[in-house]
């Protein structure tokens, strides 16, 4: 099922080597002013080839809106959109016609669908995220009206970790460097590591931290659709994502309950005023429902399996084969994944908002 | 929405202090023989009060099947079931009528629904998991016919970690100790820590590792409903869950792509025979679809917020108040969460199987 | 899938010859006062054996509410409920073990599920409607607060038709006679026809008309989930229903567009005040969305296939066989279907209301 | 929600006066050969302006497939498609900017969304059906492989009725005349009536009959998603549809149960061979599940409200106003609705097939 969300839904389509990538945004409230330049700007952020440390593929992705807008505002009807694939490069992939790349989806797709579409991985291509970013950019503009802002940044590359919590960082610095890390010194070290890995034709993973500010109390549902369960599902749907935690997450399991409780600050009337907590170990969600504090979580990304090296593998007959190194290569997907994490967060939060209405 | 799953669906109902907990299992294939003793046995595993380290509440939970079975087999119609709440103990909670406990769902529910149902937390109670365990037990028996078996165990309590991978453990030892840890020596240390925490009236968190063996290649969907996204959502819907990762997860982000690729073992024909990989860093899922290797993942649990101590908080007017210590207390939910992790895994995998059919 | 609705959902379970029929109502707003006597009263209306013209089966159906209520009000959590099957009568059906009744679901179930559950038709039994009536009774009480009231009545039995429109009938007379027809004279003729059919051991069909008053403008969705499409689906899910039309329906196809348009009455400001139309040929829905006028529609019911006669048929080997007459028999389901039509209307309208919020 | 279906889903977008109409087809099995000329041919059938009795708007609708196909076959990934709106004609609608047309969706949309998008009715435009026809054409080709064929035809225009059952008609004659009626004599009378109505600037309604041959036993679900409930919902989602019945439908309510039962023909083994019935009053569905006989049903269409006359109405302030006659006009939508009924039938049946798999 290529649809994400329940009340706010993004349906996406498109392969990297077909004519276009696109989607349908359904459930948007009517009358919301949309700045299409911001949508395009967010799309530009996911483009590779913007710096020395990312893959050099040139993609001039222009989003075309096909419906659902009138005089600059949403009408409440579905918003169809597409981005043409300027250059299909199918020939680049011809050496893949009969081989299955290790730790890609080649084998599992073939096992599931009985089809080998070797042209750039079909729906597993990073270009599939174009639809997520466009949908997310619409959701973000709807959320902004509600006072919600979303920040994601690279908080770990390989073993290099930003060890300050987000509250001690200047999040306005995220875009100041190509790794999208708001700590400039750590960013420089990360960039050096990525370049080293790139020289080896290798790849490296990392962690993205995301913060949503301004979410009021009450979003999310108690049992199966807890807000963090929705976020976990959204994040784990991003290519190469391997882990998710929120609040203190894995790091909090060693603590005692007495240390972890977030005490309420007396003086505000529950149900009428926003009640604050003195700490926010919970990550802004309790019992699956937002409590008005910042929501923060982490997403782990593995190093991707596309290397700039020859790799031993098998072909469609099960015989040994080689995947030959190709001319481009993204040593670290973290910087490009930052806007995708933001987009999936926006899609999830706006959905949770509508479900709570 | 109190329904989990798409093709195989569990709808649950019930509060800890109402007459009963129950649910409806919908989508089960017809003609599957169900051993109701196994369902009851699984339900018994989630009961507290079975050992010195768990809360002493006595619950004699008997599941009653109301429909959907004929002569010991499923008929394809929905399976209604319930478990009576033997003893409501509502009076125990009267001191909670006007206070909001910190790091519980009390405030977020009140903010969302405008209602304070103080009787044991309503749907956030641990008793809600009864429906999950019954549903999971049915799913497990359907999965067994397909050759799938699921093992969950406590792999970390506080800072005490089982440092061997699951492949080096004897999983038949899981039930040999009250912490449900298959490494007996580590289990003993964990148990000692839990007792220490209990003496302090405090609580401690930990990690559960889960392994699903025998899942064939092809379950899961490429884009939004990746198998691990479904699992993440399922796990994060369990009370106190704070994190999820699969395969090498967070631990793998520091590695190079060249180390992480799971090479295919030549000699088996893809799409006809099961193709094995030499390693399984991916955790049995590639591109969101199972590849036939073991699926393994971890779930982080925070220390729960119910202490055996007086806790400062606020009341419904926002004034300072105290939650008084009550006479029972579960210092570590990990052992009881083990069958719940198994149940949610079974619900998810059987759903993925049906969606793939 | 045994779930009806999207925002307001009823999940039902239970066979006529198992221990109980029940369901889960999910999505109800919190804080709605529920009069359980009214729920029981609605359930009593669907009971057979209340008059000389209906089947003599004695069922003392008492609904038990298991969750989701606190101090007489809904809490926003799911409402589990059940009705015990007092007397299973399985032996009555033993002559059906190996035969397939014509124009029943016996063959189609067997073809679909590969199972012959001969005990009273499994989920096709009229007792399945108990869950609909309970769910509908909750929805009705939620709708009453919104000013919506629903009336259904028998408007045709065999060829005897109430030829006045509902606007010329006194709907308070619906319960004044056993056929549930608000025109007493026509009711008497219908009753005589039903008795005649009953003497023959035969059955007869008819039409139920339903009116929903007080639905404000704006419920329903433009394209696929038009309000009348939702109503049609709801009505056609009732056993023996064969047709649905709304507004002038089939009778209006012979008219000219110039006669059919419902002219607006000037003087009310659209979007601020309720704008009335001079006529209501549309049946209160335009473009799939309610316009504030009465919603009215008809549902056709075939004569049911259970006769008080021996019927020639086949057995599970395809050989000729006989379904023997049994000792009870409902010559006309229309009167009993009236509360079911009301219930399905309530479930649909409350769902449409929540989807529009 | 602009998505139709559960296992096979069509998501549509587009206004008549925006850049394009399109959609996403999701859930199609992989490896199905698709003849795109047939898709285009079906799209051509819904075009107006093909004969003297239909509206003269010229639309050269070319469908562009954007994804989901490889070497002429489906890949199992979503199929994005669009049809450009060649000529927006927005100026034609400027006289509608401030008025609400009677018996259109203008008022109900305004009441629901608070927006007046006067450009040709937004999503209520007949052009929205383009997405349905493209999706339906894909479903039809999938169904053809399963042996299912679908025929729809005009069976009533105004009071002129084809009084033969479909079994006595030569369905290959449907396209032999502009009304799409397989009885040439009746067709000629219908055509004369439509021309007369057209001369008056008026419109006329009618009935479409649809037959699906070759559906095997077992499609559809027992309780809420009965196959005819799915069909009813699909048909009632078509603009101007006012009624639906299947089998003998409304006409059968006057009969006795003893006349209506469809007796099985002995000699075929249920569950192994196809068991036939001697008659097919049921319309091919029993208990909500197909029984292998022809499925047949009727859909009533009202005369549409767009006349070639000035119409009195109100403006957005509630004051009297006039909708002026425009230069084109479709006196009878029935012929154009025929391919739409076929399309919705195909979407529904292929969905039911996949849900049954």
- Residues in B closer than 8 angstroms to C19, CB to CB, are 64-67
Tell me, what's the ipTM?
A: 0.95
Chain B nearest CA to A300, separation (Å): 6
Q: Is B18 an interface residue toward C (CB < 8 Å)?
A: yes
Q: Which chains touch A (3 or more CB pairs under 8 A)?
A: B, C, D
Residue B73 CA to residue C117 CA, distance in Å, equals 11
Interface test mutation site (partner A, options D77, D121, D125, max chain A beta carbons within 10 A): D77
Question: Which chain A residue is nearest to residue B99, measuring alpha carbons?
Answer: A270
Residues 6+ apart with CB under 8 A from B350: B8, B139, B142, B143
CA distance C313 to D266: 8
A119 touches chain D (CB under 8 A): yes
What's chain C's average pLDDT? 91
Handedness of CA C258, C259, C260, C261 (dihedral sign): positive
Residues of A within 8 A of C357 (CB-CB) are: 357
**Residue C306 banded pLDDT, cuts 50, 70, 90:** confident
CB contact D173 to C (< 8 Å): no
A109: distance to nearest CA of chain C, Å?
28
Pick the range with the lowest mean pLDDT from A44-53, A161-170, D93-102.
A44-53
| Shortest Cα distance, chain B CAs vs residue C110, angstroms | 11
On whether any CB of chain D is under 8 Å from the CB of C262, the answer is yes
Of the candidates D24, D76, D112, the beta carbon closest to that of A24 is on D24
The residues in D 221-260 lying below 8 A from C, measured between CB atoms, are: 221-226, 228-237, 239, 242-250, 252-258, 260
The whole-angstrom distance between A357's CA and the closest CA on chain C is 7
> 3-state SS string over chain C?
CCEECCCCEEEEECCCCCCEEEEEEECCCCCCECCHHHHHHHHHHCCCCCCCCCCCCCCCCCEEECCCEECCEECCCCEEEEEECCCCCHHHHHHHCCEECCCCCHHHHHHHHCCCCCCCCHHHCHHHHHHHHHHHHHHHHHHHHCCCEEEEEEEEECCEECCCCHHHCCHHHHHHCCCCCCCHHHHHHHHHHHHHHHHCCCCECEEEEEEEECCCCCCCCCCCCCHHHHHHHHHHCCCCEEEEEECCHHHHCCCEHHHHCCCECCCCCCCCCCCCECCCCCCCEECCEECCCCEEEEEEECCCCCCCCCEEEEECCCCEEEECCCCCCCCCCHHHHHHHHHHHHHHHHHHHHHHHC
**pLDDT tens, position by position, B8-28:** 999 999 998 889 999 999 999
Cross-strand bridge partners of residue D200:
none
Distance (Å) from the alpha carbon of C71 to chain D's nearest alpha carbon:
32
Contact D67 A15 (CB under 8 A): yes
- Listed by number, the residues of chain D in 28-57 with a beta carbon closer than 8 Å to a beta carbon of chain B are none
What does DSSP say about strands B311-315 and B320-323: parallel, antiparallel, or unpaired?
antiparallel
**d(Cα D219, Cα C113) in Å, to the nearest integer?**
11
Q: Hey, is the C-beta of D3 within 8 angstroms of any chain B C-beta?
A: no
pLDDT of residue A116: 76
Which residues are CB-neighbours of B228 under 8 A, at least 6 positions away? A236, A242, B220, B246, B283, B285, B288, B297
pLDDT tens figures, C30-39: 999 999 999 9
Q: What is the pLDDT of residue D124?
A: 74
pLDDT per residue over D103-152, tens digit each? 888 899 888 888 776 654 567 778 899 999 999 999 999 999 999 999 99
How confident is the model over C15-21, as a mean pLDDT? Answer: 90
D101 C-beta neighbours (distance < 10 Å), count: 22
Specify whether the CB–CB gap between A262 and A147 falls below 8 A.
no
CB atoms C128 and D223 under 8 Å = yes
CA dist C258 → B335, D121, D125 (Å):
73, 19, 20
Residues of chain A positioned with their CB less than 8 A from the CB of D19 = 64-67
Nearest to B303 among A222, A232, A257 (CB): A257
The answer to whether residue A176 neighbours chain C at the CB level (below 8 Å) is no
List of chain D residues whose C-beta atoms are within 8 Å of the C-beta of residue B357: 357
B75-113 pLDDT, tens digit each:
999 999 999 987 655 555 666 778 888 988 889 988 888
Those chains having 3 or more beta-carbon pairs within 8 angstroms of chain B are A, C, D
Residues within 8 A of A (CB atoms), B 199-218 only: 200, 202-207, 217-218
pLDDT value, residue B60: 75
Question: What's the pLDDT band for A62 if we cut at 50, 70, 90?
Answer: very high
What residues 323-342 of chain D have any CB closer than 8 A to a CB of chain C? Answer: none
Is the model more confident about C325 or about A243? Answer: A243
Q: How confident is the model at residue C98 (pLDDT cuts 50, 70, 90)?
A: confident
Q: How far is the alpha carbon of B135 from chain A, nearest alpha carbon, in Å? A: 14
Q: Are strands C69-70 and C9-13 parallel, antiparallel or unpaired?
A: unpaired
How much is the pTM? 0.95
Q: Does D357 touch chain B if contact means CB atoms closer than 8 Å?
A: yes
Compare CB distances from C115 to B26, B31, B65 and report the shortest one's residue. Answer: B31
Which chain B residues are Cβ-neighbours of A229 within 8 angstroms? 232-234, 236-237
pLDDT, position A48 = 65
| Residues sharing a CB contact under 8 Å with residue C208, sequence separation 6 or more, in sequence order | C152, C153, C154, C155, C298, C299, C301, C334, C337, C338, C341
Measured CA to CA, the distance from residue A240 to residue A306 in angstroms comes to: 11
Chain B interface test: which of C7, C9, C11, C20 (most B C-beta within 10 Å): C11
Residue A243 distance to chain D (closest CA, Å): 26
- Which are the contacts of C249, defined by CB distance < 8 A and separation ≥ 6? C283, C297, C298, D242, D243, D300
User: Is D111–C218 a contact, with Cβ atoms under 8 angstroms apart?
Assistant: yes
Residue D67 touches partner A, C-beta closer than 8 Å: yes
Residue of A nearest to C77 (CA): A222
- Which pLDDT belongs to residue B116? 76
Tell me the average pLDDT across B269-278.
89
Q: What is the mean pLDDT of chain A?
A: 91
* CB atoms inside a 10 Å sphere around CB D114: 13
Per-residue b/e over A112-137, b at no fewer than 16 CB within 10 Å? bbebbbbbbbbbbbbbbbbbbbbbbb
Residue with tokens 């969600």: A285
Touching check for C185 and chain A: CB below 8 Å? Answer: no
The predicted structure's pLDDT at residue D104:
87
Q: Tens of pLDDT along B103-143?
A: 888 899 888 888 776 654 567 778 899 999 999 999 999 99
Identify whether the C-beta of residue C137 lies closer than 8 Å to the C-beta of residue C343: yes
Burial of C44 (0-12, 13-18, 19+ CB in 10 A): middle
D44-60 as b/e: b if 16+ CB within 10 A? ebbbbeeeebbbebebe
For residue C23, the cross-strand partners are: C12, C81
List the structure tokens of C110: 């067997």
**Can you point out the beta strands (E) in chain B?**
3-4, 9-13, 20-26, 63-65, 69-70, 73-74, 79-84, 99-100, 149-157, 160-161, 206-213, 241-246, 285-286, 289-290, 295-301, 311-315, 320-323
Residue of higher predicted confidence among D4 and C323: D4
Angle between helices A36-45 and A334-356 (to 10 degrees): 140
Residue B307 class from Cβ within 10 Å (0-12 exposed, 13-18 middle, 19+ buried)?
Answer: buried
pLDDT at D58 over 90: no
Residue A49 has pLDDT above 60, yes or no: no
**Confidence (pLDDT) at C209:** 98
D213: β partners: D149
Closest CA to D342 of D209, D226, D229, D233: D209
Q: Which of A136-140, B166-170, C61-65, C107-111 has the lowest mean pLDDT?
A: C107-111
List chain D residues with CB under 8 Å of C222. Answer: 105, 109, 122-124
Q: Say what the pLDDT of residue C238 is.
A: 97
Using CA atoms, how far apart are residues D335 and D50, in angstroms rounded to an integer? 10
B2 touches chain D (CB under 8 A): no
- pLDDT at D209 exceeding the cut of 80: yes
Q: For the CA atoms of A332, A334, A336, A342, what is the dihedral angle to 10 degrees?
A: 170
**Hey, is the C-beta of A76 within 8 angstroms of any chain D C-beta?**
yes
Chain B contact present for A279, CB below 8 A: no
Min mean pLDDT across A104-113, A115-124, A260-269, A294-303 is at A115-124
Kindly tell me if the per-residue pLDDT of C119 is higher than 80: no
Rounded CA-CA distance A62/B299 in Å is: 40
Q: B255–A1: do the CB atoms touch at under 8 Å?
A: no
- pLDDT at position D59, please? 52
């Amino acid at each position: 099922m290529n649809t994400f969300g329940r009340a706010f839904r993004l349906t996406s389509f498109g392969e990297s080597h077909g004519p276009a990538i696109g989607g349908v945004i359904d459930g948007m409230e009517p009358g919301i002013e949309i700045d299409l330049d911001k949508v395009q700007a967010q799309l530009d952020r996911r483009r590779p080839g913007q710096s020395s440390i990312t893959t050099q593929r040139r993609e001039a992705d222009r989003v075309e809106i096909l419906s659902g807008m009138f005089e600059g505002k949403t009408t409440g009807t579905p918003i169809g959109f597409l981005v043409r694939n300027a250059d299909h490069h199918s020939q680049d992939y011809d050496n893949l016609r009969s081989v299955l790349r290790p730790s890609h989806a080649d084998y599992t797709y073939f096992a599931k669908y009985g089809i080998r579409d070797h042209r750039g991985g079909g729906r597993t291509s990073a270009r599939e995220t174009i639809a997520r970013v466009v949908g997310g950019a619409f959701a973000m503009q709807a959320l902004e009206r509600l006072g919600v802002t979303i920040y994601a940044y690279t908080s770990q590359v390989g073993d290099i970790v930003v060890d300050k919590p987000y509250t001690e960082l200047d999040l306005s610095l995220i875009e100041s460097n190509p790794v999208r890390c708001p700590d400039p010194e750590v960013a420089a070290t990360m960039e050096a590591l990525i370049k080293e890995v790139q020289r080896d034709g290798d790849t490296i993973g990392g962690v993205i931290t995301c913060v949503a500010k301004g979410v009021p109390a009450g979003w999310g549902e108690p049992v199966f659709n807890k807000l963090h369960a929705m976020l976990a599902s959204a994040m784990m749907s991003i290519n190469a994502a391997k882990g998710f935690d929120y609040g203190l997450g894995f790091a909090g399991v060693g603590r005692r309950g007495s240390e972890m409780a977030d005490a309420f600050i007396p003086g505000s009337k529950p149900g009428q005023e926003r009640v604050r907590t003195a700490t926010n170990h919970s990550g802004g969600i309790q019992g699956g429902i937002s409590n008005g504090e910042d929501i923060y979580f982490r997403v782990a990304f593995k190093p991707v399996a596309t290397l700039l090296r020859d790799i031993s593998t098998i072909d469609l007959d099960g015989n040994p084969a080689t995947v030959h190194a190709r001319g481009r290569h993204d040593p670290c997907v973290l910087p490009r994944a930052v806007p995708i994490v933001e987009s999936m967060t926006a899609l999830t939060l706006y959905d949770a908002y509508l479900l709570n209405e």
